[in-house]
Structure 1
Amino acid sequence: MDRQPPDAQQLVAALNLEPHVEGGYYRRTFQADERAMLATADGERYLMTSIYYLLTEAAPIGHFHLNRSDILHYYHLGDAIEYSLVFPDGRLKTVVMGSDVRAGQCLQLHVPGGVWKASRLLAGSTGYGLISEAVCPGFDFADMTLGRCHELVARFPEHARLFELLAHACPAEH
């Protein structure tokens, strides 16, 4: 029996993940098909959805984006992942998800809807970090806004350096 941990590409293959528009890899693993759809201002949504989400050395950043729904993140395995959260009032919160709870790493993280978030893989021994996310109301790409560096810097200039590192650049910024 092979006791070696899988590498990033083996995880991508085994979990049937595909590239995510915000960075990293994902696959939807659940949607509440057996429940009534939830009416929102932007249309009907599943009551809840869930995904696997993987950052790797080759795709180490989940770029800044904003979701309308609340999201619960659950750490599974691999290296730690650092989350940068920018609240509507400009407050910055940094959280590290990982298995070293004695060092203050979190196994679960709640990100309220309306909070800008980005993630980045921290250096470690596996070259990847795997989490799951549960989204309520369920995720719909129409409810997600990818952050553009210049727009985020204009709104939150105190975090300009962070946005330069973790936000999508606009074509004029290349």
Structure 2
Amino acid sequence: MKVILLGYMGVGKSTLGQLLAETLDLHFIDLDSYIEKMEELSISELFERKGEIYFRKAESIALEEIIAKKEDFVLSLGGGTPVYGNNMKNIIEAPGVTSVYLKLNIHHLVEKLFQQKESRPLIAHYTDKIEFEEFVRKHLFERQQFYYMADHVLDVTDKTPSKSLENLIELFNLNT
């Protein structure tokens, strides 16, 4: 089984991905961590030194490498990964890959991200919550068309990670 979790930043892709991988005894891969090892730079350093276009190319290459792996895995994508290049097309067409869009209610998403903004370079500069919410709404609206191309949609609003894991496993009709 090859599972790819996608969705907006802050929805819990990495947390749920690690839990799913542990439960199914699969290898967990966080795409950003994979790129950091590949490039020997943090994501923020990569953006700073080489720019977003370079990062997006590296991201596409890393995604293709991972999808081509013979062994099973759980992969957590960056929030923007499905939007760039042919990434979503490659995910959809990859044999043996199941993709899941983790969806979080906009209100919960804004609340969570506003509290975490210092640790997220893309949104760290926002100080006004209303302006921040407008950004998230617009950004999510632009990205959702790609997210909804996933094989499954799992709403994680008001769910604990363990409940989301239970729902994800039910989605796959797995008995663990």
> Is the TM-score greater than 0.5?
no
**Larger relative strand fraction:** 1
- Given the two structures, how large is their TM-score scaled by the length of structure 2? 0.26
Q: TM-score, normalized by length of structure 1?
A: 0.26
Q: Which has the higher contact order (CA 8 A, sep 6+)?
A: 2
- Going by fraction, where is helix more abundant, 1 or 2? 2
